[in-house]
Every structure is written in C-alpha cells, then in structure tokens.
Amino acid sequence: MKIVGISASGRRDGNTSRLVRYIMNKMSEYGAESEMIEAADMDLRFCTACENCMSKGFCVIDDGYRPAMEKIKAADGIILGSPNYSFNMSAQMKTLFDRSHMLLYYMRALRGKYGIGVSVGGHPYRTDLVAKMLSQGAWLCGGYTVGRICAVSRDRDDREFLDAEKVYANADALALKFYKAINGKKRYFFQNMLRKFTLEPALRRMAMSKKEKYPFLYDFYGKL
Ligand SMILES: Cc1cc2nc3c(=O)[nH]c(=O)nc-3n(C[C@H](O)[C@H](O)[C@H](O)COP(=O)(O)O)c2cc1C
C-alpha cells in the first residue's frame, strides 16, 4: 500500500506538515509505504488556461507538477493537506487542483484510490471547510473520500495544536479508517451514485460536444 502525503503550506515542516506526517506515520505502522510532498520545495507554476491538456492530453508547463502527479497516480491513498490561508486552501493547493483539472479530474485518474483532507488554521473559522474541500479532491477525480481532519495552532511557531489530545485521537481514528478502506478496497455506494448522476453526465456532455476544440478529451470519453 502506497500513501502520498501533500503539505501545501508555504513553509516546509510547519503545522500542516506535522499533522500530515502524523497520519503518514500511523499508516506506516500499519505497513504502508509513504512519501511526503512539500509544496514549499516544489517549483509550481499557475495554470495558464492554455487547455493543451484538454486538446492534447498533457500539460505544457515543465515544473514540479508532473513528477508530483506521477507519484499521486502511483499511490493507493492521497493525503491532501493545506493550511487555512485567507479562509481557504492555500494558493499552492489550489494550483495543484487547477493543474489537475483535465489530467486527474476529467480523466477520473484517481479511480479506485482513496483520499483524506487535512487542514490547520490559526483559528477554527472555515478550517474544517478547507479540510472538507480537500477531502472531496479524490472523489472529484474518480476516487473515494474517506474523511477529513482539522486542527488549530494559535500561532505559526506554536508547535502544539489546541486540544492536542483530541486532535491526535481524531488523527488516529482517521488513519485507521483510511487504512481499512484502502486495504479492504472499500466501495462507497453513495459516492459512486452521486458522481454517476451529477458530475459524470456533465463532463461527458462537455467532452462529446467539443470534438474539434478538445480532440483528446473527445477521444477519451468516446472510448469510455
Ligand atoms: C497568508 C496566510 C493567511 C492565513 N490566513 C488564515 C485564515 O484565514 N484563517 C486561519 O485560521 N488562519 C490563517 N493563517 C494562519 C495559518 O493557517 C496557520 O498559522 C497554520 O498553522 C499555518 O500552517 P503551517 O504551519 O503549515 O505553515 C494564515 C497564515 C498565512 C501565512
């Protein structure tokens, strides 16, 4: 079992990384292999909306996104971690979402994979919402969301979470649930149905109506 943990904080080894790593270490105790991606170490550029991915099937920007995406595609479980920045996910994480628009989302490249969302904020307002948006990442890309966790660190140099005992207990429970879902290849009926009747028809309609503009997307959906 392979797990990739992403911490999309602007700084490495901050509180987001700490919580992502805590869950990764738990997963390692259960026998998983895990690898951490720190967005702070990545050369990561914004999506320029050139739509080459839609028309030709690959991203023209040659930066840290490609190797990160290969790791994500090779993993069984993905931990998406972001600090709460301005009541939202960080720009780094949003960039990963934007750059994955075609290559993971339209192509449902995380089919059969599992994801969880992790967020740390300076206060609770909207931090759980950030974790929720992150946890939906795997589902949006064809996989399953297993759950989410958020925590508060009163200031950036505070190396302990507020209500730390409760945070670690929640993290332990989430790690176990994550491990069991992946190990047992759990199928989430409701998530499948929701995707089948909401997202997928819209994606297919779009793809099939743009043969000239997005030939790659058209062929991809034509073969599904
Ligand atoms: C640019 C910026 C914006 C922030 N905005 C918020 C915010 O809107 N809400 C919040 O709760 N914390 C906010 N914070 C605090 C961080 O979420 C908090 O310090 C978190 O622990 C940082 O993650 P890190 O330790 O992984 O760097 C912000 C911090 C930065 C640097």
Per the listing, tokens 């949006």 go with 140
Lining residues, ligand 1, CB within 6 Å: 9, 11, 14-17, 83-87, 120-123, 127, 153, 156
The upper half-sphere exposure of residue 77, i.e. CA atoms within 13 Å in the direction of its Cβ, equals: 33
Atom of ligand 1 nearest to the CA of 86: 8
Confidence at residue 158, expressed as pLDDT on a 0 to 100 scale: 80
In sequence order, what are the residues at sequence separation of 6 or more whose Cβ sits closer than 8 angstroms to the Cβ of residue 3? 24, 27, 32, 33, 34, 35, 75, 76, 77, 78, 79
Task: Let me know: does 220 contact 207? Beta carbons within 8 Å.
Answer: yes
Which residue among 16, 85, 119 is best mutated to probe the pocket of ligand 1, counting the most ligand atoms within 8 A of its Cβ? 85
What is the CATH topology of the domain spanning 2-46+53-188? Rossmann fold (3.40.50)
CA-closest candidate to residue 119, choices 186, 167, 178, 158 = 167
Show me where the domains of the chain are located. Answer: 2-46+53-188
pLDDT in tens, 33-57: 999 999 999 999 999 999 999 999 9
pLDDT in tens, 84-141: 999 999 999 999 999 999 889 999 999 999 999 999 999 999 999 999 999 999 999 9
Cα dihedral 6/137/70/102 (nearest 10): -140
Task: Let me know: does 134 contact 148? Beta carbons within 8 Å.
Answer: yes
Backbone dihedral angles phi then psi of residue 145, each to the nearest 5 degrees: -95, 130
Residue 62 CA to ligand 1 center (angstroms) comes to: 29
Confidence at residue 144, expressed as pLDDT on a 0 to 100 scale: 98
